[in-house]
Chain A
Amino acid sequence: MENVYENKMSLEFLSKSSNEAFARITVASFASQLDPSIEEISDIKTAVSEAVTNSIIHGYEDKIGIIKIECTLFANSIEIQITDKGKGIENIEKAKEPLYTSKPELERSGMGFTIMENFMDELKIESVVGVGTKVTMKKVIKDLKDSSE
C-alpha cells in the first residue's frame, strides 16, 4: 500500500439508524475529490452503508455506541476504515460466507460482507469479541483519461 496520502478525514457519530444515510453520503462526497465514476461512487456508498449498518445492528445491537469512520485518499484510491466498540465477531470466516446471518429474524440476508468484498477492491475484517470490530476497505478509482493508453 502506498504511504503517501493526499487527504484524510474522520467522522464519529452515534449508532442510530438515522445516521446511515449521513455516513454513506459524507464518505461519497469526500471520495468525489478523486473524480470517480457514478458506478464507483455508488459502490462506495453501498459498501459504507453495509459496514455502518452492521455496527449498528450486530455490533451495538440495541445499545447506543460510537461508530468511527476514517478515510484516506491516495492518488488513485480511497481507504475507508469503519470501527465500532461493539460485541465483536467470533468467527470471521463464517461471518464472511454469503447468506450467513446471525439475525434471520430481522430479515437480514447475510449478504453484507459479500457486497463489501465484491463492490470494493480490498476488504479486511479485524474483530475481537467483547472489544469491537474494524472493517477496512479500499477502492481503486480508475482514471478514465489513462484508459486509452
Chain B
Amino acid sequence: MANAEFLKAMFREYYLKNDVILPPRFTKREYGFMFFDKNYVLRHKAFFSKREIKRFLVSEVPKHAYYSTAYYSDPKNKDMEKKGWLGADLVFDLDADHIPETEGKRYEEMLQIVKREAEKLVEDYLLGDFGFDEKDLQIAFSGGRGYHIYVRSSRVHRLGSNERREIVSYITGESTDIFKFLIRREEIKRKRKRTLYLLYPPEFGGWYGKISREIVKISRSLLSLYEEYGKDTVVEEFNGVLKNKKLSRRIVGDLFKKTSENTMKIEHLISQEQSQKLQIFETDELRDAFLMYIKEKIRIRGEADEPVTTDIHRLIRLIGSLHGKTGFIVLPLTLNEFKNFNPLIDAIPQNFKEGESKIMAEKKVEIELNGENYRIEGEECVPNYVAVFLVARGMADFISRC
C-alpha cells in the first residue's frame, strides 16, 4: 500500500506541474485509464476541454493513461457500432518484446535495439518509400520498452483495416519470400543446373533496390563489428537473428575468409558495384541463410503479433502521461530529438529529480539512470526517480522519504 501511495503522490505532483499533450481533435477521442488502487479499466471516457483532463489526472492520478487512435462522433458510447468511427491516425507500436535480438538483454540495450528499429521505420519506410512529410510524423517514447510512431496526415485517416494491413505487410515483409526481389537465372555449369540470384540496381524502388543497398550497408557494419570486437561477436550477431549457432558460425567463417586476391568475401559484398555478388558464397545454403539475415534486418519487427496498426479501435498511451510501470514520461519527440534521445535520462520527470526516498531492495539491483550508475541492496536513500522506477517495476519497496 505504501508503494502505491508513494507512486500516486509522485505522479500527482507531476500532473499538477505538467500538461499532457492532447492529440488533434481530442474531444472526439475515447480515453481509457488504469489506476493504482482500483482493479478495473476505465474506458469510454470523453473530455471536452483541456482543463477537464487536467482535473481528472490530478484528482484520479491514473497509473496508465490511454486514448484512442481513432476519433468518433460519440466517443463515450460503449457500443462500438454506435460510437461512429470517423477516422484514425496510422500508428506503429514498436516494442522490444517482439524483436528476437532483445532476448536476455539489459533494459538499456533493449531500448537501443528498438530505437534502431524505429529509426529504420521512419527513415527507410515512412519518409523514404512512403514519401510522407516530416511534419506528418509524430514520434513518442512509450515510457516502457518501445516507441510509438504516428502518421497524422489527412490522407491516411480514413484507411480501413484491410488497407492498413497492406501497409503493414509492406514494412514487415511478412510471409514474403525474399527471393521474389531478386532476379532468378538458371545456369548450366559442368552439366549441372544451378539457380543464380542477381540483385536489382540499388536505385530501384521498393524491396528490390532496398536489398542491394542494405547488403552494402549491413556488410559494412558487420565488418566494423569484426574489426572492433572480433569474430565471436559477429557470430553472436548472426545467431541473435538466425537462432542457429552452427549456421551462424559457418556464415561468418565464409564471409571473413581471405580469397585469392587476399581480400575477405565480405569486402566484395561492400564494394562491388555489381548484381552478381551473391555468387561469392561457398554454398547455396549459406547464401540463403545470409539472405534470411538480411531480410530480418530490413523488415520492421516489433509489431508482429499485436496488430496495433490494423486495429482501428485501438487505445494507445497518452502523450505526456506517465507510464505506471517505470515512471517515465511518454515523451513526444521530433525527428531530431529522437536521434539524440536517451530515455534513461530524457524521459525522467523534472519533479522526480528533486528529493530522495528510502527504499528497500530484497535482491541486489543495478541500474543506470540519469547518467549515473546505481547499485542498491537492502535499505538505502536514493534519488526519487530511482525510487519511482524500482518501486514501479516491483524491484523495491518504498520505506519513507529521506
Please indicate whether A and B come from the same complex rather than being unrelated chains: no
Q: Please list the residues of chain B having a beta carbon within 8 angstroms of any beta carbon in chain A.
A: none
